[in-house]
Every structure is written in structure tokens, then in C-alpha cells.
Structure 1
Amino acid sequence: MVRQTEMSASFCALNEIEIVQPGTQSACKDGRITSMTFWSPERFCESDGAQQAEQLPGVAAQCITHWAKGHSRVTIELSGGLDSSIVAGLLASIPTAPFIQALTIIPESPGGDERDYARSVAGKWNFGLVETRVVPAQLDYRELLDLPLSVEPAVYGLDVLADRLSSQLADTFGATRIFSGQGGDAIFFQPHALAIAADFVQAQGLKHGLFGIVSSIALANNISIWSVLRSIFRATASFEHREIPSAIAGPVGRQAWESNRLVHPWSAACQHLPPGKRLQIAMLTHCQLFNRATRTAAHGRLVHPLLSQPIVEMCLGIPTWQLVPDRRERGLARDQFSMLLPDKVRSRRGKGEASGFYNRVINAHLPELRPLLLDGVLANAGIIAPALLDAWLTTEHLLWKDDHPTIGALISLEIWARQWGGG
């Protein structure tokens, strides 16, 4: 009998390998594999949201206390954003708080410098903060070729520079645990999605409060209230997401794109839920990627406490319009954890933006990345079309198009395929 939670993806590209989903148990008997589901996120989406919200800080504190137990020296990846700031505040305020050293990475890119926010958090709790400026040339994705073979491509951990810096700080500081704020966007529900209004109407009807919700969504998305109202009565789109668009697929890739609809089992099981909750669960499925093997994750050091099961279950039970009660991103979390946040972070609007940095990373390494992709395993196998991708791998394209997620995913897949003997 085997329980598997380390393999984070839903589908595996290796032949004859089946990934066991978190919350399930698979057993092999008489040559057959049977699975049983013990935990699924949709089961927690119909509870008392108001009561859940009030209990959230206490439950989060208990989880942090558990993760810190037995660790006298820890580090935290502190971006200065809301989620990592909440984790820092929780960690620093527990009765048996460890010695804390924080790391903030400053990418050389407009919108990427969040050090003032990180400083305000470190200053509030009086712990150390290492500020490290990085430039695009320092991040070389080809370093993934030197890392141990893994069962899945490096999506989380693709930024090998950040992974190395965090691991080195922990080693230098003697930390036995590394904390992150990953998962907060999903559980606290970061997007001002139009689906929030549909969730409210399905649960409450056309009651008082709808206009305020519609107005805040319209303002946040810079659209009219009529667009939001129309979305309530329209069929919702699929939450299936693919980083690699069919526009650059080769013949083999295009056939797979068109014939297979990739839907995570969690998403398949939640079709009866309102659209906002389905979106939250879809975001939660992505968080499984954070469990893959990285330098920071070695020896069990890296933890993502916001993805602790009690916190996840509690946030799933809170309606989306309560998680996002107004124009503020993750407004409920800002209110419930206000005592842990410096004013600078609590009143902040928006998030840091590092997309330009990663586009510049690809541009800085184009001489090496072009042959890696255009003459690589994926191209030779017909999964991608080199002639179509060629125009993407130019300085001009990268200057105007924010395609680093797609190109980064291709790099990860290419390196992974080569490691498994594909080329």
C-alpha cells in the first residue's frame, strides 16, 4: 500500500507511470491498482464562512507553531508581498519564536524592487534581512541540466538562482527550516474575478450587497458594471490551462492538444460548485507544483505553511465574496491578519512585478537558448514547431510580448526530456 504526495502533477509524461494524487491512497493487489480518495477540496466549500474567517488567525498561528517546533534557527523568503509578510508575522509572534533571518531578492526590473516593504516587515519584528540584487545574466536555466533527475519538469524551481540563494542563506545561517509564503494567492483568493459576483448571486440571490461587489470588481478590472452583471448569467469558461499554446505546436503536439482535455481530478470533481470556488480549486491544484524537489527542499527544509491542511480547508469554506470583500486584493486576509502587518504592507495595492526581469533573462541567454529549443528533443519529436517558435526567440519579441511563462515552460520540458535520455 503506497501513499504519495511528493509527485505534484496530475499527469505524467513518463510511460507506465501513474501519479497518485494528494488525498488518495493506491493499493496494488493481484496485479491491479485500486485507488481510494480520502480528501478532496470541494468537500470543504460549503461551510459557515463567517465563523471560518474569525478563526483563521488562530488556526494559522497553530500551524506555524507546528512547523517551527524543534527548529531554533529558520530563514524566510520574504518578498514584501502580503503572503510572505503574514507568514513572517505569524512566525515572529509565536511564544517560542526561533531566530529568524529573511531574504529578499531584488530583480533588476521595473516593479521588481520590493525591498521597502520587506524592510518594514523585518523592522516590525526586529529580525535580520539580507537584500540581494540580481541581474538577468546571473540566471541561467541551463543549470537545471546539472541537477538530479526528477520525475517531473522544473516548473517551481525554474528560477535556479533564487533557489540557490535561498539555500545558501539557510546553510550560512545554520537554519534547519525555510519558510515561504507560497499558496497565499490561492487560499486567500488574489484575483478580482468576475466569477465572484456569480458566486454571490447563486448563494444569496439579488440581495443587498450585490451592487458593492459588482462595483469593486468593475473598478479592479477597469470594466463597466454592466460587463460584470452580464458575466453572472453567462456560461462559465473552462479553467483548463496550458502554458504552451497550440499556436507553436508541432504535428504531434497539436494532435495531443486537440484530442486530450487536461483536467485535474480536483477540478473534475467540483463542477457542481459556483464558478469562483471552482477557480479557487483550480488555483490550488497549481500549488501542488511547490512540492517538487529543489535545493531549498532538500532534507525537508522548505515548508509552505499557508498550504497547511487546516488553513486550506478553512479558506475553502469562506465564500469568494468574503475573501475579496472590496477593491483590495485579498481583503479578508488583510483584515484578519492586520495586527501582524506593517501599515505599509497592509495598505498596499497590487503585487510586485517581475515579468520584465524574466523576459530579460531569456533575452540575455538567447545565443544558448535558441539552439536548445529549436534543435532540441521537443522539436525533433514534433511536439513544438521550430519555425513558429523562432520568431518568439528574438529580442524584438521579448521586448513587447510577455511570453516568458511559455518559453520558460518549454525550457523546463526540454531539459527534463534530455535528462531522461531524450537527446
Structure 2
Amino acid sequence: MCGFVGFSDPGGPDGPARTTAGRMLAALAHRGPDGTGWCRHAGLTLAHCALTFVDPEGAGQPFRSASGAVSLVLNGELYNHGELRRELAATGFVPRTGSDTEVLTELYERHGTAVLERVRGMYAFAAHDARTGATVLARDPLGKKPLYYARIPGGIAFASELTALLCHPEVSPAPDTDALADYLVLRAFPAPKSACAQVRKVRPGAFVRYADGSLTETEHWRPRVGPAPGARTPRAGEAAERFEELLRAAVARRVTSTGRRLGVLLSGGLDSSVVAALAQELSPGRPVPTFSAGFEDTDFDETPHARAVARHLGTEHHVVRIGGAELAAVVEQEYAHADEPLADPSLLPTRLVCRAARERVRGVLTGDGADELLLGYRYFQAERTIDALLRHIPAPRLAAAATLTARALPVRSGNLPAAQALRRLAQGLGAAPEHRFHLANAPFAPAALATVLGPAARGALDGHRPFAEIARLLTAQPGPLSGLQRAQLAVVAHFLRDVILTKADRGGMRSALELRSPFLDVDLVEYGNSLPEGLKLRGLTGKYLLRRIAAPWLPRRTVRRTKLGFRAPLARLLREELRPLLLDTLAAPALERGGLLDPAAVRALTDDHLSGRRDTSRALWALLTYQLWYEGPRARP
């Protein structure tokens, strides 16, 4: 929705501070076309670029409290700002604007970080309190909005994107090889690490406080899975009624908190179709704009399903036609300038659909989060099947059987073909349930990293723990978890927070389009997480509760439909439209310059894929995405 930067600035003339702030903010221009602002506040410089949804005339930032004690910059929106404003007014406070930023600033001055227990929305913000000299950087519970920071001489610097933070003269772009090893397994740089050694991310659901040279991190929220000890298990009908109530409220908060018209990214799957149905219900007599990706490759195309839902609901539907040339153009034009490498190819069609949607609206609703919340991925069905099989068949024998079956199937490059799915499944069969999803989808297994990392990065493998964040979250659960619950928590910990939500923010905000995710409303998440497995995955049917709720709203085929998955035709793309870029970017001279990747190992992966011997597209995509960023326009050591 916006972007901001800031840095400690103990004194001196305005000129140098304003120049640095301007240079950093220019790197965020795509996030906020509605105006910029800056200020110096008791030793801290703040700057902000706006994409306004609430009170465009009065919402200028940085925002200073009425007393002048607190200055604050906000990226995102508080969906309950109206309720909180009324509470402030009841204390005698007279608001100067209608903005949610003013509400947050005044509440922060009164309550400090305790305000995080009250606000509902998606946000990252930085607040500076002149009374204590403390700077606080905070992110929303799920981490929908990014926030990077770095220690610098005399203080701290921070920004909404890594690219902007690297524009500060005291922040180094030197790569973090430990984080690179994580990225090659997890497809993203998991918070609190980043691609750069000096730079950290604020964890989702946490805040970082800097004061008097000391920096501390505190969690204000963390995901918990399973019923609380002693809690009563609701009946299916009761759970459905409560879940529908919370879902309706979540959609309404996101639609009614702004006077701006919002659209919906409509794939034709259950999740986005439910969101579109509720959004259209809130807009009687005015069709909601819906947008879907129309792939030339029929294995990936869901437009017939999306059109059927749009006709049923009466939305104003738009199909964005996507072919190999359009996907390749996104890589060639944007990836060298990317904020941070992200090895999720679905970012490509997401960018194209968001770019087209921005021509008509400045915000859209999505179905993100439903699969993680309600066990909708086919992986969760597989996890339940694996659990049953492992009671009778040792993991090595089961993995061998899956591998042999995969070898007997033809090599093809469709939307998750059977051979590829079986090979991935075999990779994780001997692992703990909380690791299997990531190992099945990893560009590189942890044991394979030693072969692909170059001499400058192999030291990162000493004590390498790519699943450390999962282990940390597992320690604070309300009770013992089943294997399926452990798997769900692991998917939320990395895939949702570090991959899906990073993709959503980057895919939309490169075009100044805000993405809002009702299924990730904290109240809904907490209720969904408290429900027993059987109300989410019944037998091998995922999202059981949502299907039950949605039956009166959508075509029967949509309600019963198996999830396809929003993917790009990556294997073919690398062999055809992106072949020249792949060969050039991953050529030995380029890799030898950095020393982070082994040229011989990378060449073997490239040859295998381009020759059709085996599909190594997942590994190549992670390497290509990283190397484009590493060799990009930022100065590298």
C-alpha cells in the first residue's frame, strides 16, 4: 500500500539527510505514486511514499502525534481504524484527519507496543518516541508487509524493501551465505535472515526495538495449531456457522474500510471464488471487477473455471492472456532489479495479472491463506496417506517404490506431472512430518548443497539448519501435535509467510496494487487453527468446512473441484524463451566472479534440462533468480 525508509541521524544540516532519504525513497517509487513526505524527528529521519486508501487529503506521512512526541510511518492499513477512532474520541481526543495512520500514532503514544494487541490489518510500521529515544519496527502477525533493517554506525536504518535499504551509504550489499543455503532449500530467504549479511528482516508477528545502542526483538503473535487444552470440540454445523461469520467479517473489513473500489484475483478455484462471492454480495447492483490469468499452455489454464464463476456471480470479469513471451519479459525486465531473490515461478503470472488489474483498480482481494488454514493442498492429503502407509512399510522401501515408479513414467513438463510429484514425495519420506513439504519442493536437498555451492559459500554448511524457524515455532504450541498438524505449522512458517506473502506483496506493489487476503484475518486464522483436523481434512477431502459453507454460493463443480495450483510453465520456459538468458547468466565466467556457485555443477543441471534428460527446472530457477539479482545493478563486492 505504501513504502517507507528511515535511519538514525543524530544531527547536522538537513541537506545530507534529505539527500539520503530521497535516494532510498526513489527505490520505492513503485509502491507509492500518491505523494511523498519526509521529516527529522529527535535524531531520526523518516520518509514515506503513499498509495492512499483512507483519507487521501489528510493521510500524509510521516505522521506526528498531536503532542509531537511520536512520529510514525505506516505501510498497510488498519481495517478496524473506525472502531479504534471512536474509542479515542470517547477519551476526549479530537482527530485532525480521517486516516488510520493518525489512529495508530495516537494509540502508540498512549499504549506503546501494547497497541499491537488491538489493531487488525496488514501492516509494517516504524515509530519513534522522542520521550524515550526508542525506535520500534513492527510487522503484522502473518507478515503481509515486508520490513528490513540494519545496524549502522550510531544507530539503525530500515526500509520497506531491501533495494531501498541498500541505498543507504552505510549498508553493505555483501551476501549472506548462510541465508543463501537456506534459500536453495526453502525458495526464499526466511526471516529474520535476508540475502545480505548486514541486513535482517523483522519477523512476522514481531517488533524490534532500538534504543541507547541496544536492539531487542519481541514477538507479539505466533501461530498455534490445534485446540487449546481442555477446549470443547465444536460440532461441524456449529463450526461452519462460526467460520462463516468470521469470514464474512474479514471480507467486509477489507471492503468497507476504504471508499476505493476493489477487485478480486479470481483463479476459478474454491478460495478465490468464495472471496469473490462475498465481495459481490457487499456490492449489490455494481459488478465487482475480477481478474484471471489465461495461459496459452492448457495444462496451466483455469480460465473456463474462472469464467463460470464470474458468470454465476455476475462480476465484471477480465482475462489476462499470458504466453511464454510475456512471462520471459517479466524476468528480463525486472529480476535483476528485484528486491530479493524469490524462487517461486508463480510470481511471473502474478505480476502480469496485477499489472493489468492496476489499470482498473488499486486494490484486490485474494484467496491466499485458505489452503494453509484449512489443509487444502494436495500435499496434506499425501501426508495423511503417508502416515498410514508408514505404519506398515518402512520409509526407505516406500521411497524406493515411489522413485522406481517415477522412473517408469515419461518425462513431461505439465502442471506438476505424476513422475515429478512422485520424485518429490520420495525426497521427504524419511524425514520428520514438519520437514517433508519443504524437502518435497526444495530446489536442492540439504545434502546436495555441497555440490552446487562454490568455495566462497561452502562454509555456510557447517551447522546448517534450514528448519530452525520451524523448530522454534514448534516449541510454543499449546499441546502435543499430530504429524499433520506439525506439517501444517511448517507450511505456515515458511511457505505462507516467506514465499506466498512475499510473492503477493511484490507481485502487486511493483504496480502499486494492494493485495488483501481475508483468509489471513487474525481472528479467522486463530479460530481455524483451533479446529480439529477432521473439520479441515475429512478423509482425503481438504477444506471440508469451506466447501460446506460455500455450497449455496457457488456452482457445484467449483465447490467440489480439486485444487490445480497456480503455477507457470517453467520447464518449457527455460528450454525456450529464457534459454539465452539462462545460458548467459549461469555461464562459468559469471559464476566464477562471485565464487558462490560451482560452475561445473550448474552446467550439469543446465545440460540435463536443456537436453530433456531430466527436468531440473526447479533447481535452475532458484539459481537463475539468485544470479540475476546478485549480478544486478547494485554494487557487489
TM tier, smaller = 0.7 to 0.9
2:506 corresponds, among 294, 297, 321, to 294
Once residues 326 and 541 of structure 2 are traced to their aligned partners in structure 1, the CA distance between those partners, rounded to angstroms, is: 35
Aligned to 2:535: 322
Query: 1:75 deviation in Å?
Result: 2.1
Once residues 251 and 301 of structure 2 are traced to their aligned partners in structure 1, the CA distance between those partners, rounded to angstroms, is: 27
Structure 2's unaligned 5+ residue stretches are 1-135, 148-189, 389-417, 419-427
How far does the alpha carbon of each residue in 1:343-390 deviate from its partner, in whole angstroms, 9 at most, with x for none? 1211223415746x1211111211121121234765543332221222
1:250 corresponds, among 435, 447, 454, to 454
| Contact 2:434 2:486 (C-alpha < 8 Å) held by counterparts | no
Once residues 599 and 269 of structure 2 are traced to their aligned partners in structure 1, the CA distance between those partners, rounded to angstroms, is: 38
| Contact 1:198 1:276 (C-alpha < 8 Å) held by counterparts | no
Q: How does the TM-score come out when normalised to structure 1?
A: 0.80
Aligned to 1:360: 572
Query: 1:325 deviation in Å?
Result: 0.2
Once residues 227 and 614 of structure 2 are traced to their aligned partners in structure 1, the CA distance between those partners, rounded to angstroms, is: 37
- 2:619 is aligned with 1:406: yes
How far does the alpha carbon of each residue in 1:267-295 deviate from its partner, in whole angstroms, 9 at most, with x for none? 42215532211211221122223444435
- 2:249 is aligned with 1:114: no
SS at match of 1:243: coil
Amino acid at match of 2:351: D
Once residues 369 and 338 of structure 1 are traced to their aligned partners in structure 2, the CA distance between those partners, rounded to angstroms, is: 46
Between structure 1 and structure 2, the one with the greater Rg is 2
1:416 corresponds, among 624, 629, 633, to 629
Structure 1 residues 154 and 349, CA gap change in structure 2 (3 angstroms): closer
| Contact 1:44 1:314 (C-alpha < 8 Å) held by counterparts | no
| Contact 1:377 1:417 (C-alpha < 8 Å) held by counterparts | no
| Contact 1:74 1:170 (C-alpha < 8 Å) held by counterparts | no
| Contact 1:49 1:317 (C-alpha < 8 Å) held by counterparts | no
SS at match of 1:269: helix
1:82 corresponds, among 258, 270, 290, to 270
Q: How does 1:19-418 map to 2 (within 5 A)?
A: 19-42=201-224, 45-46=227-228, 48=232, 50=234, 52-69=239-256, 70-94=258-282, 99-140=287-328, 141-145=331-335, 147=337, 150=339, 152-155=340-343, 159-171=347-359, 173=360, 175-189=361-375, 190=377, 191-193=379-381, 195-196=383-384, 236=433, 238-239=435-436, 241=439, 242-245=442-445, 246=449, 247-257=451-461, 259-263=463-467, 265-271=469-475, 272-285=480-493, 286-288=495-497, 289-292=499-502, 293-294=505-506, 296-297=508-509, 299=512, 301-352=514-565, 354=567, 357-364=569-576, 365-375=578-588, 380-394=593-607, 397=610, 399=612, 401-418=614-631
Once residues 589 and 259 of structure 2 are traced to their aligned partners in structure 1, the CA distance between those partners, rounded to angstroms, is: 44
| Contact 1:102 1:127 (C-alpha < 8 Å) held by counterparts | yes
Amino acid at match of 1:3: A
Once residues 305 and 143 of structure 1 are traced to their aligned partners in structure 2, the CA distance between those partners, rounded to angstroms, is: 31
Amino acid at match of 1:142: E
Once residues 473 and 537 of structure 2 are traced to their aligned partners in structure 1, the CA distance between those partners, rounded to angstroms, is: 24
Structure 1 residues 145 and 325, CA gap change in structure 2 (3 angstroms): closer
| Contact 1:24 1:38 (C-alpha < 8 Å) held by counterparts | yes
Structure 1 residues 417 and 403, CA gap change in structure 2 (3 angstroms): same
Aligned to 2:138: 3
Once residues 393 and 7 of structure 1 are traced to their aligned partners in structure 2, the CA distance between those partners, rounded to angstroms, is: 33
| Contact 1:52 1:315 (C-alpha < 8 Å) held by counterparts | no
| Contact 1:323 1:331 (C-alpha < 8 Å) held by counterparts | yes
Once residues 117 and 94 of structure 1 are traced to their aligned partners in structure 2, the CA distance between those partners, rounded to angstroms, is: 22
Once residues 559 and 207 of structure 2 are traced to their aligned partners in structure 1, the CA distance between those partners, rounded to angstroms, is: 41
Query: 1:118 deviation in Å?
Result: 0.6
Structure 1 residues 278 and 400, CA gap change in structure 2 (3 angstroms): farther
Q: How does the TM-score come out when normalised to structure 2?
A: 0.55
Query: 1:156 deviation in Å?
Result: 5.6
| Contact 2:227 2:530 (C-alpha < 8 Å) held by counterparts | yes
Q: Which shifted more, 73-82 or 262-271?
A: 262-271
Structure 1 residues 35 and 234, CA gap change in structure 2 (3 angstroms): closer
Once residues 234 and 305 of structure 1 are traced to their aligned partners in structure 2, the CA distance between those partners, rounded to angstroms, is: 33
SS at match of 2:352: helix
Query: 1:68 deviation in Å?
Result: 0.9
Once residues 130 and 258 of structure 1 are traced to their aligned partners in structure 2, the CA distance between those partners, rounded to angstroms, is: 51
Amino acid at match of 2:443: E
Structure 1 residues 377 and 16, CA gap change in structure 2 (3 angstroms): farther
Once residues 379 and 310 of structure 1 are traced to their aligned partners in structure 2, the CA distance between those partners, rounded to angstroms, is: 50
Once residues 356 and 342 of structure 2 are traced to their aligned partners in structure 1, the CA distance between those partners, rounded to angstroms, is: 19
Q: Count residues with an aligned counterpart.
A: 390
Query: 1:54 deviation in Å?
Result: 3.5
| Contact 1:122 1:128 (C-alpha < 8 Å) held by counterparts | yes
Query: 1:234 deviation in Å?
Result: 9.7
| Contact 2:287 2:316 (C-alpha < 8 Å) held by counterparts | no
Once residues 589 and 233 of structure 2 are traced to their aligned partners in structure 1, the CA distance between those partners, rounded to angstroms, is: 50
Once residues 85 and 376 of structure 1 are traced to their aligned partners in structure 2, the CA distance between those partners, rounded to angstroms, is: 48
Aligned to 2:181: none
How far does the alpha carbon of each residue in 1:98-157 deviate from its partner, in whole angstroms, 9 at most, with x for none? 64111221222242121221112101110122223322232121222464x52x324468
Once residues 306 and 398 of structure 1 are traced to their aligned partners in structure 2, the CA distance between those partners, rounded to angstroms, is: 42
Once residues 349 and 385 of structure 2 are traced to their aligned partners in structure 1, the CA distance between those partners, rounded to angstroms, is: 40
| Contact 2:345 2:567 (C-alpha < 8 Å) held by counterparts | no
Once residues 307 and 122 of structure 1 are traced to their aligned partners in structure 2, the CA distance between those partners, rounded to angstroms, is: 23
For CA contacts below 8 A with separation 6 or more, give which structure has more relative contact order. 1
